[in-house]
Structure 1
């Protein structure tokens, strides 16, 4: 099974500043992901040609199920508002995260997180800048996999240190209510060691993903809940391919999932 997480920067290339439908579609198809979590996803935004990037990613992946969960209505960094409820702003430009699956989804679950109340410096192409934080969202799916159901979630946490740690604890608490095994795919805005310590979950890959042109730190993660994850390997085979857009590289992890291990004394002869 191939799992992938990718902060797509709404599909924008750092070389030409453009968002191109075919470039986006081909890059997602090349990931060959069975389950794909995307962050910084646009829907209906002028800056990305009014594309529905989630639907485009689902088409490129040959998915049977997909969903977009907006974190805000409007354009980040410009004018936006928080959602009143999950169906708010359906016909308005929005920005959030999405999940794409080649396997059927039994149920979808959305958890909303508040942004930090303070501005914080963040590194971007061109140098550091002070930014106001935004509301965040967690999108989870209970998937009917070939070896049974499992839970996958994706999110993009705050760039404000300590605040994102608190958000990650809330994510873990929310996901524990869903069936195991449980996986979290996303841009957590913290390095691998911190993500593992804060969550108590196990990283399935340790590879630098940011910045895309010369990765030095891993901000993007595939984490496995240690509870109920015995049938999954300690670490998967990881790739961070170069893609012609975004300031992050995707993280692709291939794992071999099998049936739960037998308990001693349960074999019959």
Structure 2
């Protein structure tokens, strides 16, 4: 049996090809990955710019495609529209009726447990180096809170912990957050897979975490990516990877990562 994992920075549904933002188009593009578990970053929740939609719910509905409902959850990093001085503020918790921005997880499998981690923003502005191809200069910009959302899902081969996250745009800060996330995850069931936009290039993410990278592929900026910022990292996972690749998802500025695992049945996992 195959289990497919996918992670995508959905850019709130903004399509770089025409500059328009469409939640429905984004949800359909994510569903097109054919995943069983999907981690999504840069997700809008009831924000005016995306028509007041619940993008996490739309993704889950699109993935279900009229079949059995998918379980899903949204975790707010901030309330209000990012960049808006009038509404933008740190989210102390996720509120169902509060317009917010953050991350999500959706899966066809039953979810046994949900867990959430909040990582405070830096106290000072952080340096950001513009990517290659842009004028080479450093910008100092405010940091924002980051969150990690974990689901313990019941697969046909047993429980699997999946974490979605979107770490700081400053690599130095992202390294600190990844270490914090790893320490927090020690109490979660294994095997464990971390998926998301870690904002850490290439081998830095697996080297920092000590976890195994399941896919190595450039993801940013799409459609002609030059660096891998998105990752799928595993701890204590012994299921075989049968395919791992990056894929374009609509007009997002990130490519998605897709990993296929050969999933043994519980009896096979115990006796094999």
Deviations 1:46-96 (A, max 9, x none): 111111110010011115210000001111122311123x24x43221000
Match of 2:130 in 1: 123
Q: Could you say what secondary structure the match of 2:217 adopts?
A: coil
More displaced 10-residue stretch of structure 1: 142-151 or 115-124: 115-124
Q: How many residues get paired?
A: 258
Q: How does 1:1-269 map onto structure 2 within 5 Å?
A: 1-62=3-64, 63-79=69-85, 80-84=88-92, 86-87=93-94, 89-116=95-122, 117-123=124-130, 129-225=139-235, 228-229=236-237, 231-233=238-240, 235-258=241-264, 259=266
| TM-score normalized with structure 2 length | 0.88
Matched-pair contact (CA < 8 Å) for 1:205–1:236? no
- 2:27, 2:79 → 1: CA distance? 24
| TM-score normalized with structure 1 length | 0.89
Deviations 1:165-186 (A, max 9, x none): 1100111111121110000000
Change in Cα spacing, 1:245 to 1:51, as seen in structure 2 (3 Å) is farther
- In the alignment, structure 2 segments of 5+ residues that lack a partner are none
- In the alignment, structure 1 segments of 5+ residues that lack a partner are none
- 2:76, 2:128 → 1: CA distance? 24
Matched-pair contact (CA < 8 Å) for 1:19–1:49? no
More displaced 10-residue stretch of structure 1: 118-127 or 30-39: 118-127
